[in-house]
Structures are given as C-alpha cells and as structure tokens.
Amino acid sequence: MLQGTNLTKDFSVRLGLFRGNATLRAVDHVSLAIQPGETVALVGESGSGKSTLGRMLLGLIPQTSGALNYCGRDFASLQGDQARKFRADVQAVFQDTSASLNPRRRVGESVQAPLLFNRRLSAQQARIESAQLLERVGLDPKTFAARFPHQLSGGQRQRVGLARALASQPRFIIADEPVSALDVSVRAQILKLMQDLQAQEKLAYLFITHDLGVARLIANRVMVMYLGTVVEEGNAADVFAHPSHPYTVALTLAAPIPDPTRARPPRHLMGDIPSPLAPPSGCRFHPRCPFAQAICKTDAPPMREFEPGHLSACHFADQVRAPK
C-alpha cells in the first residue's frame, strides 16, 4: 500500500557564527513497504530517525532523495482528488495530544472538522457521526463532546485523537509514540482499542516507539533503526525470539521485565547515541557494541537475510543471533 525506496532525509544545521552550516542526515537510504492490515513497529532510541521517517511517509516533510509510492503511484505526482484521498487515507496519531488538538475547540468540533472538510458531510451528518466516533473510542458524547482538551486526561485526549483520525475513514495510521506519555493501565487500554479498531477497519499501522514491550504486544513486523539506518527487520516473533543485531539484543535486554522477582540483566547498551552530524565510520554502532572487532570500524555491514524476511546488518550476526 505504502512503499518507500532508499528514502533519505538531510537537514542543514547551522553550527554557529563562524562555523557555517553542516548537513545532518536523519534518515539514510531506508526502504520499507506497509501492507494493508498489518502493524509494523519502528523501534529505536530517541535520535534514531524514526519520527523523521514517519513524517516523510505522512508527506509532512519531503524526502531529500528516494521514492515514495502510495498504492502504486509516485507520491510526488499525486494531485487534486488523488492527493486529497492520500491525506484522508493516511492519518497520524501523535504522542503530544495537547499539541495535536486545538485547545480552543471543543472535542466534538475537533472530531467534526475532518468530517466536514475531508468527507464533505453536512453539519448535521458531521454532528451525528462525530458522536458515533466518540462512542467507538469509548467516550460518552453527551459528556465529552462539549469539553475542551484541557478538561480531559491524557488517555481521553488520545481517544479523541483516534476518533479524529478515524473520521477520515483511513486505511493507514502512523502512530508516533501514541502511548508513551500515558500511565501503564491507560496505555494497555489504548493499545487494546487500537487493536480492536484495526480488526474492525482492516487498518494498517506504522507504530513508532522506543518501547520494545509495546512493539512486542502490537506488531506483526519490526524494523529496528539506529542513527538513521535500519539495522534489523523481520517478523516480530522472529526478531524478539532470535535478535540478530547487537543493538536489538541490547534493546531487548533493556526493556522492562514485568516481574519484580526477576533480576534486571546487566546494562548492555553503552553510552549515548552518537551525533548524526558525525556518525561513526564503518558500522555506526561500533563505539557501543560489545561484539565490535577491527573490521567494524572500517566496513559498513550490508543487510543479510537469515531466514525469509528476517534481515540484519552485522558482520557477526551468526554469533550474535540467539539460537533457535
């Protein structure tokens, strides 16, 4: 449905008064394809480029190079009705719900806006359908339609965000850290709601998250990003059971264990993610990698396929890979 090939995004960054500008490559030759009805989790630490990739897929920022296709058509060539259809088909849900809802608009008005402008419903139809959408996301329209965003909890605002996204009858939702700011119990409710909506509407999700627990719960497929590149991807069950890149192993070990009686494993991820302004040579992960050897500092590892659909970019993936 949505396909990106060799997507790259550069930003020009001003370094200071006498130091001029530098190019920051936030996304570096990433290819991905999202199929109807599937959930792809894009995981990685903050600064890995996953949100920039999500914004490119939404058409919010243009790619520096690479191709983006929607339903077989070049994204850049979409115009008029086709561009409108893309904007309705592909919706976003963001982490910061207070910023994504207009603070001066009542909840009912916020949900009605896409019904009026994207679907061109009459005011009366929009009122009726917005009430139905609020009900679908678990909010009583009689109570919530007249409220302003600041009168809602974080979980309630995220439900409104979902109702707004659904108003355009989308086929694909890009959810950027949609539950990161929520309490654990509310997080579980929102994830369950998203799974239910997916089953009812045959939605596809791109789920951007730094939380592997969330990715494990919701994803069919996982892509792991590090410093703008994809270092591992595959079927979610395979990736979590047999991670084949040291970065994925480290993220897996760093994920919280929902069992207070089990000891935390030792810290596997050393130091912070390097600046994308000066990415390390060879394998970008080598300064933090416990498996690094001399070749890692000079030669960038290519993506290799270990089993159908499971790929990893590591010279020593065979040793890293957890046994079956």
CA distance 299 to 282: 4
Residue 296 binds to ligand SF4 (criterion: CB under 6 A): yes
Interaction of residue 49 with ligand SF4, rule CB under 6 A: no
Q: How many residues bind ligand SF4 (CB under 6 A)?
A: 13
Of the ranges 67-75, 101-109, 115-123, 311-319, which one interacts with ligand SF4 (CB under 6 A)?
311-319
Other C-beta atoms within 10 Å of 199: how many?
Answer: 10
For 108, the token pair is 């009912």
Under rule CB under 6 A, residue 224 binds ligand SF4? no
Alpha-carbon Rg for the chain in angstroms:
21
> Locate tokens 């001029």: which residue?
20
Among 61-69, 172-180, 195-203, 313-321, which window interacts with ligand SF4 (CB under 6 A)?
313-321
Is 228 near ligand SF4 (CB under 6 A)?
no
Does position 251 interact with ligand SF4 (CB under 6 A)? The reply is: no
Q: Among residues 223 and 314, whose Cβ is nearest to ligand SF4?
A: 314
Token readout for 34 is 């999202």
283 binds ligand SF4 (CB under 6 A): yes
Task: Using alpha carbons, select from 166, 72, 152 the residue that is nearest to residue 106.
Answer: 152
Q: Which stretch binds ligand SF4 (CB under 6 A): 12-20, 32-40, 186-194, 309-317?
A: 309-317
Q: Is 285 in the site for ligand SF4 (CB under 6 A)?
A: yes
Q: Which CB sits closer to ligand SF4, 47 or 246?
A: 246
* Shortest reach from residue 268's CB to ligand SF4, in Å: 12
**Residue 216 or 304 with smaller CB distance to ligand SF4:** 304
Which residue carries 């957890």 as its tokens?
Answer: 322
Q: String of b and e for 293-315 (b: at least 16 CB within 10 Å)?
A: eeebeeeebeeeebeeebbbbbb
CB of 232 to ligand SF4, least distance (A): 10
Please give the distance of CA 2 from its chain centroid, rounded to a whole number: 14
Q: How far is the CB of 28 from ligand SF4 (least distance, A)?
A: 15
Indicate whether 246 belongs to the interface with ligand SF4 (CB under 6 A).
yes
Stretch that binds ligand SF4, among 70-78, 114-122, 217-225, 284-292 (CB under 6 A): 284-292
Asked if 242 and 78 touch (Cβ cutoff 8 Å), the reply is no
DSSP assignment of 194-252 equals: HHHHHHHHT-EEEEEES-HHHHHHH-SEEEEEETTEEEEEEEHHHHHHS--SHHHHHHH
- State whether residue 304 is helix, strand or coil: strand
Nearer to ligand SF4, 160 or 231 (CB): 231
Closer Cβ to ligand SF4, 70 or 247, answer by number: 247
The minimum distance between CB 292 and ligand SF4, in angstroms, equals 4
Q: Does 249 bind ligand SF4 (CB under 6 A)?
A: no
Distance CA 246, CA 313 (A): 10
* Nearest CB to ligand SF4, comparing residues 173 and 227: 227
N- to C-terminal Cα separation, the chain: 32
Residues that bind ligand SF4 (CB under 6 A): 245-246, 283, 285-286, 289, 291-292, 296, 301, 314-316
